[in-house]
Amino acid sequence: MLAKRIENRLKILGRKLIDKDFNDLKKNLFISHCDNLDHGDYYSNFIFLLANKTKLSAREIFEKTKDYLEKLSYIKKVELINGYLNIFIQKKVFFEDYKKVLLKKENFLKNNWGRNKKLIIEYISANPTGPLHIGNGRGAVLGDILTNVLKLSNFRVTKEYYVNDRGNQIDLLVKSVLHYLGKISNEENIYKGDYLKEFAFKYKKELENMSIEEIKKFTVKYILSKLIKQTLKNFGTNFDNFYFETDLYSKNTDKEVIKILTKKGLIYEKDGATWLNLKKFNEAKDEVLIKNNGEQTYFLSDIIYNYDKFFIRKFHYSIMIVGSDHHDHIRRLQKTFEYIFNVEAKRFKFIEYQMVHLYKQGEKIKMSKRKGEFVTLDELIKEVGVEPIRFYFAKYSPEITINFDLNVVKKENINNQIWYLMYTYARFNKILEKAKEKKFKFDYRQNLKTNLTKSFIYLINQDNYLKIFRRINQFPLVILNSAINLRQNYVISYLLKLADELNSFYEKEIIIKGDSKEIRYKLIFIYYLKNILDLGLHLINIKPKKELHNPIS
């Protein structure tokens, strides 16, 4: 990747210019893409970092950097803008992108940051007590897109859904079923959704002949298959594995972990319960692992589950995507693995996402899962479709609360950004269809290699085309930075910027005009753009529409 080559060159120069604290430079140096191409293709904080570590002025550092970088065959020029090092790339570099996209497609976006390490990403993992709600949908979107960028970054990724099929919430679920069967009356503390009433009515005969344990297993299995897995299928989310909490205990992993903690002197008994001593590691409080009634806590289950990930299944990295209401729990869990099991924080990462607020006709819809007053993900899919949900849930960084306005996302105009992106794709697909209608014969697969070089030479010296080549060159770095920072919204921001420039290009350029050779060259470029948009939309798990009728206005 070109951006990484430049970064490595800057590290080499940095080592020459500073005598100490090189590791700090290596750690904090970044290179990113320029949104404004007038400022360059890429920019870096290199000058800022060196200014604090040498006796040279920023201008002197820049002049040395300029002399060094402009000798490289792939760099056109460098400039100092607002203290940042801004880098312009030579035109010939874009030919390699052109070839990769047209001949190897997905390989264009790949990098080797993950070095083939095993990584497990766990997300959604909603209790099997009812249908998935829209908050679960946000977790699904984050997990799906990050999985895609991590795979492109050469991680061996396993997508997992952790099924909490034991504990208080499952006991309450059974209690709720018994209530709807008429076996328990006047209960307030139950799940009140219609889905449980319908379930109890439909399977009344079978349920009445089951033991409590059988009802538990039967109900969990039903909700998981009918109300969770089916919704995930509708939403386009799939998992490599569903891992059940009960399996952790059936394999006696709990006993193995307790034995380790006991040997480390971190277990003690108090008030009939078993405690983990976290105060020893400067935490404010200790954690109960086993209650005085013998029931294992969620904290113990999470220790066991993640111990299984790292030490039994041997994953090098683990990522958990959870709602922000789990903040303190996951912080303490991460510290437990860092303190006790020597798992570095960089190997055990968490992504916390904020809530989704749903608006309809200008009013916020109130939701409570316990009371059965919530909008299911299936209901939202029926209301607006999969693509708008996926797009708007992916558009924002996880720490931002989403206000999802049904009135906005259903409109087919430029103010609805998912429609705008889909329309961009449809426009360029329409050009290729129009070429067929005009009997312009060109077999892309057969004639691509022979025409590719000539096409590039013809196009690269035209400003309209050059600007697009430059923007597309940035895409692999967007993928890498998205993977490094675990931010799916980088991809959306890039695609929207690209869409702006593609639509501007569309308005200025007439493709099917000129002699047959010129048209052929330009059609190869349109095919190139379609491939890029295909890659981008596939990356965010959105199916492109080949035709949309409303004009952009």
Query: How confident is the model over 14-19, as a mean pLDDT?
Result: 80
φ and ψ at 6, to 5 degrees?
-65, -45
The region of weakest confidence among 180-189, 200-209, 438-447 is: 438-447
Q: What is the pTM of this model?
A: 0.91
Q: Is the pLDDT of residue 446 over 70?
A: no
Q: Is the pLDDT of residue 88 over 50?
A: yes
Residue pLDDT, tens place only, 353-412: 999 998 887 788 776 544 545 689 999 999 999 999 999 999 999 999 999 998 888 888
Mean pLDDT of the chain: 90
Q: Is the pLDDT of residue 69 over 90?
A: yes
User: Sheet of 267-270: strands edge to edge?
Assistant: 267-270, 273-276, 287-290
The token pair that represents 397 in the structure block: 């960084």
Which helix (H) or strand (E) is 44 found in, with range?
strand 42-44
Position 553 scores a pLDDT of 41
The region of weakest confidence among 313-317, 434-438, 523-527 is: 434-438
The region of weakest confidence among 313-327, 473-487, 514-528 is: 514-528
CA distance linking residue 287 with residue 291, whole number of Å: 10
User: Sheet of 348-353: strands edge to edge?
Assistant: 241-244, 156-163, 118-122, 317-323, 348-353
Position 18 scores a pLDDT of 80
DSSP states of 320-368: EEEEGGGHHHHHHHHHHHHHTS---GGGEEEEEE--EEEEETTEEPP-B
- Contact yes or no for 513/167 (Cβ under 8 A): no
- Closest to 123 in 3D by CA, of 495, 393, 404: 393
**How does residue 245 score in pLDDT terms, banded at 50, 70 and 90?**
very high
Query: How confident is the model over 122-131, as a mean pLDDT?
Result: 94
Largest distance between two CA atoms of the chain: 89
**How does residue 182 score in pLDDT terms, banded at 50, 70 and 90?**
confident
Q: Is the pLDDT of residue 460 over 60?
A: yes
Residue pLDDT, tens place only, 298-320: 999 999 999 999 999 999 999 99
β-bridge partners, 356 = 402
* Domains observed in the chain: 2-90 (3.30.1360.70), 95-110+412-539 (1.10.730), 123-250+354-410 (3.40.50.620)
The region of weakest confidence among 34-38, 141-145, 325-329 is: 325-329
Q: Which SS3 state, helix, strand or coil, does residue 384 take?
A: helix
Position 502 scores a pLDDT of 95
The torsion defined by the Cα of 243, 244, 245 and 246, in degrees rounded to 10, comes to: -140
Cα angle 286, 287, 291 (rounded to 5 degrees) comes to 130
Using CA atoms, how far residue 457 sits from 451, 502, 511, 522, in Å, is: 10, 20, 17, 11
Q: Is the pLDDT of residue 94 over 90?
A: yes
Q: Is the pLDDT of residue 186 over 70?
A: no
